[in-house]
Structure 1
Amino acid sequence: MESLVRSCYKRKSGYSFAKKAGDIAREYGIGRIARLASNENPASPSPAALKAAEEALRTVNRYPDENANVLMHALRAHYRHEHFVTGVGMDGVIETILRTLVDPGEKVAISTPTFSFYGLAAMGQGADVVTVPREADFSVDPALFIRQAKDAKVAILCSPNNPTGNATGTDAVRQILEGIEGVLFLDNAYVEFADIDYIPLMKKYENLVLGRTFSKVYSLAGLRVGYAFTPRWLPPWYNRAGTPFAVNSVSMAAAAAALADNDHAERYITHVRQWRKRFTDEIQYPVLPSDANFVMIDVAPHTSDEMVGELARRGVVVRSCRSFEGLPDHYIRANVGEDWENEQFIAGINAV
C-alpha cells in the first residue's frame, strides 16, 4: 500500500524536529535541561489569556465560531487594520495561502537559508519550488530576488529570518514588492523583537501578506494560533480554500486576551534584548547580529551536530542548523530562555 504515497514525500524528508529535553535528561542523567532549541517564550501565558482559555474550555462541546470573530475583533482593534486571516499556527496560514493561490506546477520562490516548512508546504501543493540564496552575510539582494521570483505566483521571505536572525529593511521589501508579479508572503513571526515595522506597506501594496504568530512573544506556542495581515481581496478566497473551524475556541479566546496584555509582551521583549546582548558579549564563538528572540552562532571548527551533542551533555538543548538548505554545517541556533537557562548555555558553550 505504500506505493500509494505521493512521490514527492518519498524524495524529500519531512520537518526536522529538535531533540526532546526529556530524552536528553534520561540519556545523560541530568535533572534540569535548558530548552533553547525551539524559539519558545519560556514565560507562562498572560493571566488574562489563561482565564479566557479556561472560560472557553467550558464551551468546547460546540464547534468554534467559523469566522473567529472574537480574535478578528481583537486584531482589528489592536492594529487598526481591517483585513486578517487566521490559521493553525503560522504553518497553517502558509499552507492555506499556497492552497488558495498556487496551482500544481506554478512557481514559488523562497529566500534561503530559512524555515524549511515553506518548501515542504509548497511541495505539498505541487509547486515548482525555486530557492534564492542570500548573500554571504545572510542579507537579501533585492535585485537577485526579483530576478528569480519575478514570475512566481508566491514569493516567501522571512524577516527577521529563521535561523539567521537578521531582518530585511523596508526599502528592500518595497523594492521587491514593486519588482515581482505575484504575492510576497513576508513571515514576521519574530518581528516584535525587531525595530522595524512593515505594516505601513499594507496601505500601498496589494501583493503583500504579513504573517504573524502568537507562539513567540505571546507564549501560546502550544495553542497554535497564526494570523496574517492581508489586502482586501484575499480573505474571501482564503476562507473558501481553508479548513473549516481551523482555529479552536480555546486558542482564539486566549489569543484575543493575550493581545490586550501589552505588559506581558513587553517584559519578554525587554528580556530578549538584554540577553541577546549578553550572548553576543560573553560567548566565545561569533554570534551573528539578531533581530529575533534567538541568535545563530558560528561554532567552527565544530560541526553543528558536534556542538549540539556537546551542549546536550552539559544540559542544554539548542538547534543544529545542519538541515537548513544553503547553510554551512557549522552553525547552531539558540533562543533566549529563562535566566538560569541562558547562564547554563553561556557556561556550556564556553567550555567547548
Structure 2
Amino acid sequence: MRRLVRACFSGSEGYSYAKSAEDVAREHGIDRVARLASNENPRPPSPAAVEAAAVALQAANRYPDTRAAPLIDALRRYHGDYRFVTGVGMDGVIETVIRTVVEPGEAVVVSTPTFSFYGLAAAAHGARVINVPRREDFSVDPEVFIEACRGAKLAFLCSPNNPTGNSVLPEMVEEILEEMEGLLFLDNAYIDFADIDYRPLMRRHENLVLGRTMSKIFALAGLRVGYAFVPEWLEPFYHRAATPFALSSVSAAAAVGALADTDRVRETCDHVKQWRQRFLDEVPFRTYPSDANFVMIDVAPRTGDEVVERLAARGVLVRSCTSFPGLGNRYIRVSIGEDWENVRFLEAAKNL
C-alpha cells in the first residue's frame, strides 16, 4: 500500500527535529540537560497566561470561537489597528496562506538557508519550490530575490532569519515589495528580540503578510499559537481556506493573558540580549551577529553533527544546522536558555 503515498513524502524525511532532552539524558546518564536546541523560551508562561488557560479549560467541552475574536482584540490592543488571522503555530498560518493563494504547479520562492518548513509545506500543496541562496555573509541580494519572484504567487523571507540570526532592513523589504507582483510572507518569529519594526510596511503595501508566533518571547510553544498581520483583501479568503476550529480555546485564552503581561516580555527580552552578547563575546569559535534568541556558530573544522554529540555528552543539547537547505555541515545553532544552561554551554564550548 506504500504506493499510495505521494512522492513528496515517500522520497524525503520531512522536517528535521533536534534530539530530545530525554533521549540525551538517557543516552549519557545525565540528570539535568541544558535544552538549547529549539529556540524555546526557558521561562515558564506568564502567570496571567496560565490563569486564563485554566479558566478556559473548564469550558473545553465547547468548540472555540471560530475566528478567535478575543485574541484578535487582544492583538489589536497590543499592536494597533491591523488585520490579524490566527493558526496552530506559525506553521499553521504558513500552510493556510499557501492553501489560500497557490495552485498546484505554481512557483513559491524561498530565501535560503532558512527554516525548512516553507519549502516542505509548499511542496506538500503541490507547488514548485524555487530556493534563492543568500550571499556568502547570509545577507539577502534583493535583485536576485526579486528576479526569482517574477511570476511567483508567493515568496518566503525570514527576518531575523533562522538559523543565521541576521535581519533584513525594512528599506530592503520595501524594495522587494515594490517590485513583486505576488505576496511576500515575512516570517517575524524572532522580531521581539530585534530592534526593527516592519509593521509600518503593512500600511503601504497590500502584498505583505507578517507572520508572528506566541512560542518565543511569550513562552507558549507547547500551546501552538500563531498569528499574522494580513492585508484586508486576504483576510476573508484566508478564513475560507482555514481548518475549522483550528486554534483551541485554551491556547487562545493563554495568548490573551500573555499579551497583557508586558513586564514579562521586557524581562525576557533583556535576558536574551544580555546572554546573546556573552555568547558572541565568549564562544571560542566564529559566531554570527544575531537579532534573535539564538546564535549560529561555525565549528569548522568539526562538523555540526559531531559537535552536537560532543556537547550532548556534557549535558548540553544544541542544534546541528546540517538539515537547513544550502547551509552545509559546519554550523550549530544555540538558543539562549536559563542562566545555568548558558553557563554550562560556555564551559563545554571552551573545552571542545
TM-score, normalized by the shorter chain, greater than 0.5: yes
**Which moves more between the two structures, 75-84 or 40-49?**
75-84
The CA distance in 2 between the partners of 1:340 and 1:174, in whole Å, is 41
The CA distance in 1 between the partners of 2:40 and 2:15, in whole Å, is 17
2:146 paired with 1:146: yes
Task: Tell me which residue corresponds to 1:240.
Answer: 240
Deviations 1:116-135 (A, max 9, x none): 00001000110010000000
The CA distance in 2 between the partners of 1:225 and 1:270, in whole Å, is 23
Task: Tell me which residue corresponds to 1:349.
Answer: 349
TM-score of the aligned structures, taking structure 1 as reference length: 0.99
The CA distance in 1 between the partners of 2:68 and 2:97, in whole Å, is 17
2:263 paired with 1:263: yes
2:293 paired with 1:293: yes
1:191-202 pair list within 5 angstroms: 191-202=191-202
Task: Tell me which residue corresponds to 2:121.
Answer: 121
Q: Secondary structure at the match of 2:66?
A: coil
1:189-228 pair list within 5 angstroms: 189-228=189-228
Task: Tell me which residue corresponds to 1:37.
Answer: 37
Count of aligned positions: 352
Q: Secondary structure at the match of 2:332?
A: strand
- Alpha-carbon shift at residue 12 of structure 1 (Å): 2.0
Task: Tell me which residue corresponds to 1:2.
Answer: 2
Deviations 1:251-277 (A, max 9, x none): 000001101111111111000000011
Task: Tell me which residue corresponds to 2:251.
Answer: 251
- Give the aligned residue type for 1:78: Y
2:307 paired with 1:311: no
2:276 paired with 1:276: yes
- Alpha-carbon shift at residue 31 of structure 1 (Å): 1.1
- Alpha-carbon shift at residue 159 of structure 1 (Å): 0.2
The CA distance in 2 between the partners of 1:327 and 1:254, in whole Å, is 36
Percent identity for Structure 1 against Structure 2: 62
- Alpha-carbon shift at residue 321 of structure 1 (Å): 0.3
- Give the aligned residue type for 1:203: R
Q: Secondary structure at the match of 2:185?
A: strand
- Superposition misfits of 4+ residues, deviation over 3 angstroms: none
- Give the aligned residue type for 1:141: D
Task: Tell me which residue corresponds to 1:104.
Answer: 104
Q: Secondary structure at the match of 1:199?
A: coil
Deviations 1:47-88 (A, max 9, x none): 100000000000000000101111011011111123111000
- Alpha-carbon shift at residue 328 of structure 1 (Å): 2.1
- Alpha-carbon shift at residue 8 of structure 1 (Å): 1.2
Question: Which runs of 5 or more residues in structure 2 are unaligned?
Answer: none
- Alpha-carbon shift at residue 11 of structure 1 (Å): 2.0
1:54-69 pair list within 5 angstroms: 54-69=54-69
Deviations 1:29-52 (A, max 9, x none): 111100000000000100100000
2:88 paired with 1:88: yes
Q: Secondary structure at the match of 1:144?
A: helix
- Alpha-carbon shift at residue 150 of structure 1 (Å): 2.3
Deviations 1:310-330 (A, max 9, x none): 000000000000011110210
TM-score of the aligned structures, taking structure 2 as reference length: 0.99
RMSD after superposition: 0.6
- Give the aligned residue type for 2:340: W
Question: Which runs of 5 or more residues in structure 1 are unaligned?
Answer: none
The CA distance in 1 between the partners of 2:175 and 2:249, in whole Å, is 39
Q: Secondary structure at the match of 1:110?
A: strand
